[in-house]
Amino acid sequence: MKTFNYHSAKDVKEASKLASSNSAFLAGGMTTIPSIKLGLATYKDIINIKNIKSLSGIKASSKTLKIGATTKHVEVANSKDVKKAIPSLAALAEGIGDPQVRNRGTIGGSIANNDPSADYPSACIALNAVIHTNSRKIEAEKFFKGMFETALKSGEIIEAIEFSIPEKSNYQKYPNPASRYAVVGVYVAKHKGEVNVAVTGAKSCVYNDKDLAKALSKNFSSSVIDNVKISSSGMNSDIHASAEYRANMIRVFAKKAVEAC
Amino acid sequence: MASLVGSRVERKEDKKLLTGRGRYTADVNFVHQTFAYFVRSPHARAQIKKVDTSKALKSPGVVSILTGADIVNDKIGGLIAGWRIKSEDGSDMKVPPHPPLASDTVNYVGDHVAVVIAETLDEARNAAELVKVDYKILKAVVSTKDAMSSDQIYKDIPKNMCFDWLLGDRAKVKEAFDKADKIIKIDLVNNRLIPNAMEPRAANADYNPSTEEITLYTTSQNPHLARIIISAFNGVAPENKLRVIAPDVGGGFGSKIYPYAEEVVCSWAAKKIERPVKWVADRTESFLSDCHGRDHVTHAELAVKNDGTFLGFKNETIANLGAYASVFGTVTPTYLFGPCATGVYKMPAAYSNVKAVYTNTAPVDAYRGAGRPEATYTIETLVEKAARELGMDPAEIRMKNFPTQFPFQQTLVHSVDSGDYVGGLNKAMEIADYKGFEKRKRESASKGKLRGIGLCSYFEACGIAPSPVVMMLGCGIGLWESAEVRFNPTGNVTVFTGSHSHGQGHDTTFAQIAADQLGVPIENIEIAHGDTDKGPFGYGTYGSRSLTVGGTAIVKACDKIIAKGKRVAAKMLEASVDDIEFSNGEFVVAKSNKKKTIGEVAFACYLPGTYGEVKSPLPEGDEPGLKETSFFDPVNFSFPAGSHICEVEVDPDTGETKLVKYTAVDDFGTIINPLVVEGQVHGGLAQGIGQALYENCHYDESGQLITASYMDYTMPRADNFPEFNLGFTCTPATSNPLGTKGCGEAGAIAAPPAVMNAVMNAIGTEISMPATAEKVWKACNKNKKRNSEAA
Amino acid sequence: MSKISLEVNGKKITKEVPDHTLLSVFLREILNLTGTHVGCDTSQCGACVVHVDGKSIKSCTAFAADLNGSKITTIEGIAQNGKMHPMQEAFKKLHGLQCGFCTPGMVMSAIDLLQNNKKPSDTEIRDWLEGNICRCTGYQNIVAAVKEAASKM
């Protein structure tokens, strides 16, 4: 394993200052550490941000739920505030990885990594999240740029994710039987005046299925989903699922999610 | 004293394993130890043009770098195939050289090219990246089915074919087929699996320049075999200068029966640099370079009468050996597969023809069940198909063809000593509530789910024996087992066995046997194994052999102890040997209360004379000491059998298959420890169900292993299974005094067809393993389409 | 190098370690606590599970430097005065282990489950153990052992 210099930042300012083009922030490390171990990534500096108190915690208001970047999955899953405001988000967190991943992994880490099969990005899209960083606020739609790619600039740190509380919502996923990451995950959220159907796992990056969203905005019923065309073009195809199968699963899960709302 | 055989004794080995005191090879460290990291081929097939280590040698911490050229210079021999299989035309099998480090060509991704030895693991890894290997990449042969018509991998091996083997009588089969009302045909793929013992392979070799002895700690199921191969074939050190220790070993499932390149190289390197060399595989290395299992392509046919009577069977199989012929790689798809392919049935005529091929993939060798899962899958899916085509109940067609008289001469090889196949299937049907299936199916249908039921009746041949016969068939090793029972002067006992426990619980079950035989409390019996310097030569643990062969050797050694004990006791009690009876640890003069405990007798054996109160002169002709050895070579295999019934529920929208009910009824003859046996069945089932629903080794067209981590290779997890329902029947084996039959592989043998028959029953169409959600979904769609077109 | 002070199985320890030292390496190679096993490179097998501040984590996916000030409990640290933890006892009684390699992680994970859920159902146990792979037992006796331990704790 390639070595690096380890730093533990006291505050966001220090963390940002330590950052370079050859560094990584370390929160739960659920992706960063395996990447380093497997030699997929090497860094000169690793900057621990877990000791920065301001980055952790859950705050609910009447319209939004704001979750600090280093809040762990287990904390989101068990939070009374989250369960009350957006129960589907708590359920999503409860379904990430395994208990040990949930005890370490953080929401900010998941989003900053933007793994195409991660769960949280779909929540961000479905719940019209705003990503608060140390320098700006970014709408989720503009945050997730592509596979493992986000709008974050070097040294920019996610501080919190602010979700809009929907009228109702539900998340369904088919986990990869080996890795347990989402082969397909569908997050349906009904907001006042609009519906989002965020899909993860199916393409190189999370996206809002506009056709499904439009149909469900008109009539929020699972029966309309059969009439929406879900094209498999551009979808991932691998040993675990073909594009065609992924397209089918989106339909099945969109229905299930609407019915469970 | 109550008999321990048959009771649920908690395992003696558990405390250390539960408290973190187990000692596995990776836990062993030597002073002044170095670390090895292997440079492996990134290509499936290539010529090595040049290996340049100059830059790597300058890397910090590097002690030595060894390559294929050093192997050649030091005349280190290659890895071996342990069984010589002859083709139908009488010619010998063709085997390519398999040097521990390649010098000319590499033949699979992960093949060993060089080893970097450094002060730390990080330094070894970093330097390994600097070893420059110039490859000329060649077109890889990957497909089992197409191997014979692909590019030739080895100069002297046309069609990439190792052998074309036949067992059975083609003419008789033709005759039988000519008389048949119906021929049932099936094409199958037995998916390649990666064994994945949870402990990755490891080796740590220490060389003592004073005694010139190498001590090799390794993750082996069979340390004695490792020693003889590394000395006699690889030529690393004479046998008496090589000690192999397999301490606690974290599972094997076949993949650790024989030594690999890494053990050979670590031992050789340790001697060369006169420092200990440690290597521990990371999981990716395990995926790439552990031997894989299964990988057959089969066409089989069953000739039947309209009433369901079987008339004949043919089996044409292509077996993938991978890049090299591994130790048990050639016997697995032949003698372990061919004879069992006729299943548990009366089959008047049969043949198995196997063509074994080389491909540019990891070598394939024995994996839990080794040949018998492939055989059982073939016949049991074929029988199920026959039932469907004849409109018979799958249980009925099986019952009709079961033998009822034992010993039963099975068509191709085996004389099965005992069994009750009808009783076993009846019991399974009772436990599984076979009759209630239709009702459960309707309930599932009301929830939009498809429910299916699948049967499998199997028999298997394990505890492979006897040596003289098996050696005539090409086996290069003996198949007996040794035991040494050593009474220590203070009355406790050490039992040395040549078999090896890596999860099977020998420390307990073997101690139960010895305790019963000798009348010594189980706490006072220690089972010693896994060290070639302790106890006599042995043949390790695989093929469900340890209890029937190794356990019997213990019984035989105990018999000898008791025979000597009787003579000594007779002398001590001033009685005639013929009047001495032994039971519950006491030698008693018949019809008297004169007796000596076995502990007193043992003590006397070590103090053969008179000393104060001790009066124990030995009988004339007897030597001091109380230690006896037995080498037991059984007269026959043992033949466990059983019937398993599986129920699944399929969601046609997603194709997800849920295993909802699994019943296993097995006949393992006499059971020594039900707790342990149940555990063996559970574990075997998990692997068998894994093969049927989840696990699949996938190479892409260029020979890159796609499933090289737990991210892509599906290991069954706790939430994949329901609680299994187990039942047992018992017809004791007649080939060993304990009456036992092997139990380790049954689950892995019976489960794949039981599960697949259930899935196919649910969806009404044929499907290959593993029945992944997508495959099942596609099959359901095809059905839907077919049905709507028909309507 | 990082200087770290932490508590391992009740003992205070201060060590200087290379920055990239994984907790699993720290425990196994530096403290010789070899009961914590390493079975994969992708954080999935769970053989390396230990408790950090009472919660189960995978020690192969945490840097020792990151755990300065933590309290760590490993499989070696859960028996009290030579008496095995009820979870260990239950695994022994019900044959919840075979080769023993996954066992330390399995036991540590299962103890954490009971801290979160005193009387878990079979399904809850199986779901919780998603991050622990066992190749020997088929999980059945592990599930039974966890239930047994729950009834004793």
Provide the residue ranges of all domains of chain A, joining segments of one domain with +.
5-164, 168-260
**Least confident among B52-66, B109-123, B464-478, B584-598:** B464-478
Q: Residue window 742-781, chain B: list those with CB within 8 Å of chain A.
A: 772-774, 777-778
Structural contact between residues C14 and C77, judged by C-beta atoms closer than 8 angstroms: no
Selected residue of A38, A98, A180 to mutate for chain C interface (largest C Cβ count, 10 A) = A98
Looking at the fold, whether C61 and C37 belong to one and the same domain comes out as: yes
Selected residue of B120, B653, B721 to mutate for chain A interface (largest A Cβ count, 10 A) = B653
Those residues whose C-beta lies under 8 Å from the C-beta of residue B673, and which sit 6 or more positions away, are B6, B7, B8, B9, B505, B508, B509, B512
Please report the pLDDT score of residue A99 as a whole number: 98
Which of A1, A3, A178 has its CB closest to that of B713? A178
Place of tokens 């130890």: B33
Question: How many domains does chain C fold into?
Answer: 2
pLDDT > 90: percent of chain A = 98
Q: How far is CA B400 from the centre of its chain?
A: 32
CATH T-level fold of A168-260: Enolase-like; domain 1 (3.30.390)
CATH T-level fold of B14-138+201-280: Aldehyde Oxidoreductase; domain 3 (3.90.1170)
CB pairs under 8 A between B and C: 177
Please report the pLDDT score of residue B617 as a whole number: 80
Which of B122, B654, B714 has its CB closest to that of A177? B714
Q: Which CATH number fits domain B296-464+636-790: 3.20.20.10, 3.40.50.300, 3.10.180.10, 3.30.365.10?
A: 3.30.365.10
Phi, psi of A18 (to 5 degrees): -70, -20
Closest C-alpha to B586, from B567, B616, B572, B565: B565
Q: How far apart are CA A69 and CA A85, in angstroms?
A: 18
Q: From the DSSP assignment, how many helices (H) and strands (E) are in chain C?
A: 5, 5
Looking at the fold, whether C69 and C97 belong to one and the same domain comes out as: no
Q: Residue window 123-152, chain B: list those with CB within 8 Å of chain A.
A: 125-126
**In the CATH scheme, what is the code of domain A5-164?**
3.30.465.10
Please report the pLDDT score of residue B783 as a whole number: 81
Rg of chain B over CA atoms, in angstroms? 28
Closest C-alpha to B153, from B363, B402, B366: B363
Which of A178, A181, A245 has its CB closest to that of B777? A245
Section B138-156 average pLDDT: 98
The domain locations on chain B are 14-138+201-280, 296-464+636-790, 480-632
B710/A248 touch (CB, cutoff 8 Å), yes or no = no
Q: How far apart are CA A119 and CA B737, in angstroms?
A: 59
Which residues from chain B sit within 8 angstroms of residue C122, using beta carbons? 723
Looking at the fold, whether C16 and C69 belong to one and the same domain comes out as: yes
Task: Give the pLDDT confidence of B414-464 residue by residue, as tens digits.
Answer: 999 999 999 999 999 999 999 999 999 999 999 999 999 999 999 999 988
Q: Which two tokens stand for residue B490?
A: 């203070």
**Same topology between domain A5-164 and domain A168-260:** no
A3 touches chain B (CB under 8 A): yes
Place of tokens 């890049």: B323
Please report the pLDDT score of residue B469 as a whole number: 85
Looking at the fold, whether C96 and C70 belong to one and the same domain comes out as: no
Please report the pLDDT score of residue B791 as a whole number: 62
Looking at the fold, whether C90 and C142 belong to one and the same domain comes out as: yes
Task: Dump the DSSP string for C41-102.
Answer: SSS-S-TTEEEETTEEEEGGGSBGGGGTT-EEE-GGGSSBTTBPPHHHHHHHHTT--SS-SS
Those residues whose C-beta lies under 8 Å from the C-beta of residue C152, and which sit 6 or more positions away, are C86, C89, C90
A228 touches chain B (CB under 8 A): no
- B358 SS3 class: strand
Please give the mean pLDDT across all residues of chain A.
Answer: 97
A178/B712 touch (CB, cutoff 8 Å), yes or no = yes
| pLDDT lower than 70: segments of chain A | none
Is C81 a domain residue? no
Please report the pLDDT score of residue B45 as a whole number: 98
Task: Give the pLDDT confidence of B361-393 residue by residue, as tens digits.
Answer: 999 999 999 999 999 999 999 999 999 999 999
Q: Largest Cα–Cα distance in chain A?
A: 56
Q: DSSP alpha helices (H): ranges in chain A?
A: 12-18, 32-37, 73-78, 80-85, 87-94, 99-104, 107-113, 120-126, 140-143, 210-218, 243-260
Contacts of A among chains (3+ CB pairs under 8 A): B, C
Q: DSSP alpha helices (H): ranges in B31-140?
A: 54-57, 68-73, 121-128
**Same topology between domain B14-138+201-280 and domain B480-632:** no
Selected residue of B37, B129, B654 to mutate for chain A interface (largest A Cβ count, 10 A) = B654
Task: Give the pLDDT confidence of B677-696 residue by residue, as tens digits.
Answer: 999 999 999 999 999 999 99
Task: Give the pLDDT confidence of B94-123 residue by residue, as tens digits.
Answer: 999 999 999 999 999 999 999 999 999 999
C128/A99 touch (CB, cutoff 8 Å), yes or no = yes
Q: What is the DSSP letter of C129?
A: G
Q: Taking the complete model, does pTM exceed 0.90, yes or no? A: yes
Cis, peptide link before residue B753, omega less than 30° from 0: no
The end-to-end CA distance of chain C, in Å, is: 41
Section B166-188 average pLDDT: 98
Structural contact between residues B29 and B695, judged by C-beta atoms closer than 8 angstroms: no
Is C138 a domain residue? yes
Q: pLDDT band at B645, cuts 50/70/90?
A: very high
Q: How far apart are CA B565 and CA B485, in angstroms?
A: 13
Is C90 a domain residue? yes
Please report the pLDDT score of residue B4 as a whole number: 94
Please report the pLDDT score of residue B1 as a whole number: 57
C58/A101 touch (CB, cutoff 8 Å), yes or no = yes
Phi, psi of C148 (to 5 degrees): -60, -45
C95/B199 touch (CB, cutoff 8 Å), yes or no = no
CB pairs under 8 A between A and B: 47
Task: Dump the DSSP string for B158-192.
Answer: GGGEEEEEEEE-HHHHHHHHHT-SEEEEEEEEE--
Looking at the fold, whether C111 and C90 belong to one and the same domain comes out as: yes
Q: pLDDT band at B699, cuts 50/70/90?
A: very high
Please give the mean pLDDT across all residues of chain B.
Answer: 96
Last residue of a domain, one of C76, C98, C121: C76
Domain extent for C98: 86-152
Is C143 a domain residue? yes
Q: pLDDT band at B507, cuts 50/70/90?
A: very high
What CATH number is attached to the domain comprising C138? 1.10.150.120
Q: Which helix (H) or strand (E) holds B36?
A: strand B34-40
Does the structure show a pLDDT above 60 at B127?
A: yes
User: Which chain B residue shows the shortest CA-CA distance from C36?
Assistant: B20
Looking at the fold, whether C52 and C93 belong to one and the same domain comes out as: no
- Distance from the Cα of A29 to chain C's closest Cα (Å) equals 7
Phi, psi of B641 (to 5 degrees): -155, 170
Those residues whose C-beta lies under 8 Å from the C-beta of residue A199, and which sit 6 or more positions away, are A122, A184, A185, A186, A187, A206, A207, A208, A209, A250
Looking at the fold, whether C106 and C143 belong to one and the same domain comes out as: yes
B714/A1 touch (CB, cutoff 8 Å), yes or no = no
Q: Which CATH number fits domain B480-632: 3.20.20.80, 3.30.365.10, 3.40.190.170, 3.40.50.2300?
A: 3.30.365.10
- B737 SS3 class: coil
Q: Which two tokens stand for residue B651?
A: 């969601």
Q: Which helix (H) or strand (E) holds A46?
A: strand A45-48
Structural contact between residues B340 and B371, judged by C-beta atoms closer than 8 angstroms: yes
Q: How far apart are CA B240 and CA B218, in angstroms?
A: 17
